[in-house]
Amino acid sequence: MTTSRPAFRAGLFAALPIVLGYAPIAFSFGVAATRAGLTGAEAVMLSVVIYAGASQFLALALVTSGAPALVAAFTLIAMNVRHVLYGPALMRQAGSGASRRHAWAWAWGLTDEVFGQALGALARGQRFSESYMFGLGLAAYMAWIGGTAAGAWAGGGALDRWPAVSAGLGFMLTALFLALLLSVLSRATLRPVAVAALACTAGSLALSPAWGILAGMLGGALAGLLRR
């Protein structure tokens, strides 16, 4: 992570695994959205404005099932509140000398996978660069929007002839994030990760996936704090 254009290109290149994971999932979302009755423009707009990955499938289910707007909004906020911690965590890892001038802009692109990739780069000794973050986030964002547009254009029946492919697409996002998690896993992070996994599993089984995510986030953060 150096500066300016080389760092931006490095961010674009580093986003390639994310792009390969996002495009087919976003395609699946575009297909699901048109199958649920949304127009192609509405499906793409959901990805442009919300940009919440797997949560968009939940948003689609809530909207099409007639759930009240406040219920849908609070459910999505609960599932994605963890993103509030990503920026501070990155800046803490980057050190006090890292630039924060344009954090308000590149922080928009901090999805789970982008955060994992950036944190992994810092863990491997690379210097923090806002240009790198812009390249990393922009490539992932464009892949998600482009995949949604392609799925919406293909139509609601695009995956009906390949049920195995349709089933496999649902796991690709999870597999991508697990791969990024393994890239930063070490003896120092093993305990917080294990606690987060157990808390997430317990919360999901006892309450719901949204509460499970919150429990995992809080459990992992508390384990890391106690370790310090």
Distance between CA 29 and CA 54 in Å, rounded?
A: 9
Pair (103, 190) in one structural domain: no
Pair (166, 197) in one structural domain: no
Pair (153, 193) in one structural domain: no
Pair (109, 44) in one structural domain: yes
Could you list the residue range(s) of the whole structural domain that residue 157 is in?
4-172
Pair (120, 208) in one structural domain: no
Pair (119, 195) in one structural domain: no
Report the pLDDT value the prediction gives residue 169, as an integer from 0 to 100. 63
Report the pLDDT value the prediction gives residue 79, as an integer from 0 to 100. 74
The mean per-residue pLDDT over the stretch 195-207 comes to: 86
Pair (138, 67) in one structural domain: yes
- What per-residue string of b and e applies to 193-220 under the rule 16 or more CB within 10 Å gives b? bebbeebbeebbeeeebbbbbbbbbbbb
Q: pLDDT by residue (tens digit) across 26-46?
A: 988 888 888 888 888 999 998
Distance between CA 134 and CA 106 in Å, rounded?
A: 6
Among the candidates 148, 172, 196, a domain finishes at 172
- 64 assigned to some structural domain: yes
DSSP H or E run through 29 = helix 16-35
Higher pLDDT, 85 or 139: 139
Q: Is the pTM of this model over 0.75?
A: no
Residue 2 confidence (pLDDT) above 60: no
Closest CA to 185 of 131, 106, 123, 118: 123
Q: pLDDT by residue (tens digit) across 109-167?
A: 898 889 989 988 888 888 888 999 999 999 999 999 999 999 898 876 666 676 766 66
Report the pLDDT value the prediction gives residue 159, as an integer from 0 to 100. 66
Q: Which residues contact 182 (CB under 8 A, 6 or more apart)?
A: none
Pair (155, 220) in one structural domain: no
Pair (78, 112) in one structural domain: yes
Pair (157, 199) in one structural domain: no
Query: Domain count of the chain?
Result: 2
∠ CA 90-91-93, rounded to 5°: 65
Pair (131, 210) in one structural domain: no
Higher pLDDT, 40 or 81: 40
